[in-house]
Structure 1
Amino acid sequence: MCDKQAEKAVNGRQAENTVNGRQAEEAVDVKQVKEVTEAPQKTYRNLITESHVKQALKAQQGSSAQLLSWTVTDFTNKGDNYACVVTSVDVCYHKEGNDRKTSFVVKCNPCRALSIFNEFSTAVFQKEAGYYLELLPLFNAQLSRGGCEPIRAPHCYFAHLTEQEEVIFLGDLRPEGFKMFDRMKGMDKAHAVLVLKELGKLHAASILCQKETSVVLEEKYTYIKKDFQSIIGDVDFKKMLTSEVENSAEIAERIGGYKKVVDWLKDFAPSSSDVFLEQIKKSPPFDVLCHGDCWNNNILFKYDETGVPVDVRLLDFQISRKASPATDLNYFMYTSFNGPERKDNLETFLNVYYESLREVLEAGGTKAEFTSQELREEYHKKNLFGLIMGMMVVPVVVSQAAEVMDLDDITDGDIETLVKEQRER
């Protein structure tokens, strides 16, 4: 009797073990399938690979440099960047018998769920990589032939442009003492002069390069032609600009005392996209390759021991375009200054820019095709462009990190709600 009960118990346990074993196998199978079908969530950090780091290191330090270790180190604040994520990579390497260190600033695709950003991100990375790797070397070679200094911009060591995985490795200027000016303060004359001299050189270099070839630059380097409107489409572009102008009208109305301004902005909003596109059309002889995004956050300065700015670097060529130089000037003036600083020094600023442009052109064996007075007239003709860009950028300039719209976790269905909430802030 006991033997039969024992046998029955053993058989029961075996059956139970068999069932449990099958369940365990099925669980493992499900887990394996899940691991195969569910790829790790893509983030900007895992876009950076060891292969990328090795290629950037080789470009910077030569083929004898052996990578020992690398670490991704974030250093920017929320609100500093929108079209990409800017981080850094700290590198330890061995070369010529010694262990050494270096670092890179790395721009990464932000990996956002918002579909409208996907095509935009791809386009701006193509533009910026092309600018660093093709256009800047072209411009600097031209400047060198005229005995001029190269354009002050970081060196690009590596770019990976697979769609939605884009990364660009740039030289890290922080160890040299370069840093961003506090965007909340508004630039002063000393900072502005350095920027305007560099813009004049940049524009002049593009003119000289265009004169040396019968091929139109934007036809050879087609990424130059990609712009806001061509990337996101006419309808969304119109919605975006209309919303920005309406937002400015609401802010002015809330402050009070600006009824004429409010009425004008509300009237202007529906046609703002048409005005924008008209303002960025080429208008010879005012035809240069512009920086396109020249404002405080895209400029770094170096200071002497007394705090005076002595050197500058231009960054972020993601929305460069062929247009009038007055668009770059208006963009800079309307986004990076307090009103009195801009108004009181406008003549000086335009003279500084023009003299830089003229000197570089003459060093390259040609003359400016417009006078300083004609530049002033062109600047004022493009004031509406500066106003539009100011309405888009200034809310970002004055926002604290906690007030900035968080684009990382939102989807297409959330965007209208978030824009409304952002306005209310």
Structure 2
Amino acid sequence: MTSSMESNISAPWMDRAWIQEVLRDVEMDPSLSVTDCHVTDASSKGDHYLSEMQRITVHLQRAGCTNSRMSLIVKNLPAGEEMRKQLACSTAFPNEIKFFSQILPKFEAILESAAAGCFKPLAARHIHSRDTVPYFLVVTDLAPEGFRMAARQRGLELDHCLLAMKALARLHAASVALRDSDPLLVESMKENIFSEEPPSGILQGFSKPSIVSIAKLVRQWPDGGEATATKLLDLADTFCQRLRQQLSPEGNRLNVLIHGDLWTNNMLFKYNDVTGGVEDIRLVDFQLAMYSSCAIDLQYFIHTSPRDEVRVAHTEDILREYHRELSSTLQLLGQAGKAVTFRELMDEYERKGVYGFLISLFVLPLFMADCENAADTEVLMSGCNYSESSDERSSNKEFVKVMKRLLPLFEKKGFF
């Protein structure tokens, strides 16, 4: 059987022999042979912006065993020259590689030892990685287990949101326990691409066009106004600084290792074959993981992921589910003294409200765009005014509806 890997893989040195060597080491089986590989794209335009992902289907032979198949996900630097240049000197890939290779295994060991059999894995299993340029990460593919993304543009229903909060709370609780035993490892995740100083070119390249585009849109609304649009444009010059301020840990007792990018496409769901109901979840993409307030993840999730009707009616229910799971997991981990009341959590959530506002301006138009109108990262990185060319992200009807509701609330709170 002829391998199709050599012609399709974005890193040519990742050939069949290399995959075989890696899997022999990971599986601790020198008899393992890779007989065939096939590579396909693992994401579509608009699904991810900071990486390129491919799926490798590997056919295996082992001594004394029937032939088997394994599916892997390989995450590389994106193809665009400017994005590769920016990401090569950012924290995105090193953070994710550290999270998968060092931190997640400790999290899952902590959770498993506290209550054997009660906790499912938080994410895919790390297979191999390289933390120097050119970065790459290889993890197990969760698709063969039945996990898949929810509909990105529709937004999550309440049952999906509650399941996401349980997974997030376990992640946060495990980080509290790990900080007790290995504070240096936890606190080594000091920044992400949003908090880097000087500001990342990626942050600047993405944020200003989004804000300009939204301000332009506000001017066109019958009930909009020049004053609101002008205030939004003024924000563009201080956006990066305000984002960094919100992410600063500040010695907060609610600090944890946050996911940092918890939105619809960074969660994979499994559905019941009979009822169709959602029953399990795995988290993916830890490129924005860092040590910060747990409320950063909550604000990010609430302002990017639920269907807007769910966001309006059930934000408190979603946050209560997070608080319940966080409290019960901390107790199981022997960390009950670190728990907070729901009122304390809500106070922190409100204190980080500006972050939810900034994220709504920055990434929500990207996340809600259809594939045809997804942002071209190379155009953004080139410094072109994307909002004045072919950018139709903010003309999305659902996005317009959401922003017409949210902007007056944000303005009333004095966020801009």
Q: TM-score under structure 2 normalisation?
A: 0.83
Which structure's CA Rg is the greater one?
1
User: Residues 167 and 51 (structure 1 numbering): CA distance in 2 closer, same or farther, change over 3 Å?
Assistant: farther
What do the CA deviations read for 1:68-115 (whole angstroms, capped 9, x no partner)? 111212242111121111110111111124222221111112232116
User: Residues 47 and 218 (structure 1 numbering): CA distance in 2 closer, same or farther, change over 3 Å?
Assistant: farther
Shift of 1:52: 3.8
Gap runs ≥5 in structure 2: 1-6, 394-416
SS at match of 1:158: strand
Q: Which residue of structure 1 lines up, in the alignment, with residue 270 of structure 2?
A: 302
- 8 A contact 1:86–1:106 mirrored in 2: yes
- 8 A contact 1:127–1:224 mirrored in 2: no
User: Residues 374 and 315 (structure 1 numbering): CA distance in 2 closer, same or farther, change over 3 Å?
Assistant: same
| Amino acid aligned to 2:79 | C
Q: Which residue of structure 1 lines up, in the alignment, with residue 334 of structure 2?
A: 365
Q: Which residue of structure 2 lines up, in the alignment, with residue 49 of structure 1?
A: 15
1:278 and 2:245 matched: yes
Q: Which has the higher helix share?
A: 1
Alignment of 1:385-396 (within 5 A): 385-396=355-366
Shift of 1:306: 1.8
Q: Equivalents in 1 of 2:182, 2:194: separation in Å? A: 28
What do the CA deviations read for 1:222-244 (whole angstroms, capped 9, x no partner)? x5434334276378755753443
Q: Equivalents in 1 of 2:260, 2:178: separation in Å? A: 18
What do the CA deviations read for 1:29-80 (whole angstroms, capped 9, x no partner)? xxxxxxxxxxxx9982525333441244325544132111112122421111
- 8 A contact 1:295–1:336 mirrored in 2: yes
Q: Equivalents in 2 of 1:214, 1:413: separation in Å? A: 36
1:192 and 2:192 matched: no
User: Which of 336, 339, 342 is matched with 2:308 structurally?
Assistant: 339
Gap runs ≥5 in structure 1: 1-40
Paired-residue identity, %: 25
What do the CA deviations read for 1:137-156 (whole angstroms, capped 9, x no partner)? 12122222321525420111
- 8 A contact 1:129–1:159 mirrored in 2: yes
Alignment of 1:217-228 (within 5 A): 217-219=186-188, 224-228=190-194
What do the CA deviations read for 1:266-286 (whole angstroms, capped 9, x no partner)? 343333222211111114112
What do the CA deviations read for 1:174-196 (whole angstroms, capped 9, x no partner)? 11111100011111110001100
SS at match of 2:119: coil
Alignment of 1:112-191 (within 5 A): 112-114=80-82, 117-120=85-88, 123-147=91-115, 149-164=119-134, 166-191=135-160
Q: Equivalents in 1 of 2:91, 2:173: separation in Å? A: 25
Q: Which residue of structure 1 lines up, in the alignment, with residue 351 of structure 2?
A: 381
Q: Equivalents in 1 of 2:202, 2:14: separation in Å? A: 31
- 8 A contact 2:202–2:381 mirrored in 1: no
Q: Which residue of structure 1 lines up, in the alignment, with residue 50 of structure 2?
A: 83
- 8 A contact 1:153–1:314 mirrored in 2: yes
Q: Which residue of structure 2 lines up, in the alignment, with residue 68 of structure 1?
A: 35
| Amino acid aligned to 2:246 | Q
Q: Which residue of structure 1 lines up, in the alignment, with residue 75 of structure 2?
A: 107
Q: Equivalents in 1 of 2:76, 2:200: separation in Å? A: 27
**Stretch moving more, 47-56 or 363-372:** 47-56
User: Which of 190, 201, 214 is matched with 1:248 structurally?
Assistant: 214
Which contiguous aligned blocks of 4+ residues in structure 1 show a shift greater than 6 angstroms? Answer: none
- 8 A contact 2:199–2:240 mirrored in 1: no
| Amino acid aligned to 1:201 | R
- 8 A contact 2:191–2:291 mirrored in 1: yes
Shift of 1:307: 1.5
RMSD (Å) for aligned C-alpha atoms: 2.8
- 8 A contact 2:73–2:138 mirrored in 1: yes
1:258 and 2:224 matched: yes
- 8 A contact 1:187–1:337 mirrored in 2: yes
- 8 A contact 1:116–1:232 mirrored in 2: no
What do the CA deviations read for 1:299-335 (whole angstroms, capped 9, x no partner)? 1000012221000000000110111111100101101
Q: Equivalents in 2 of 1:373, 1:293: separation in Å? A: 25
Q: What is the number of equivalent residue pairs in this alignment?
A: 380
| Amino acid aligned to 1:288 | V
Q: Equivalents in 1 of 2:292, 2:200: separation in Å? A: 19
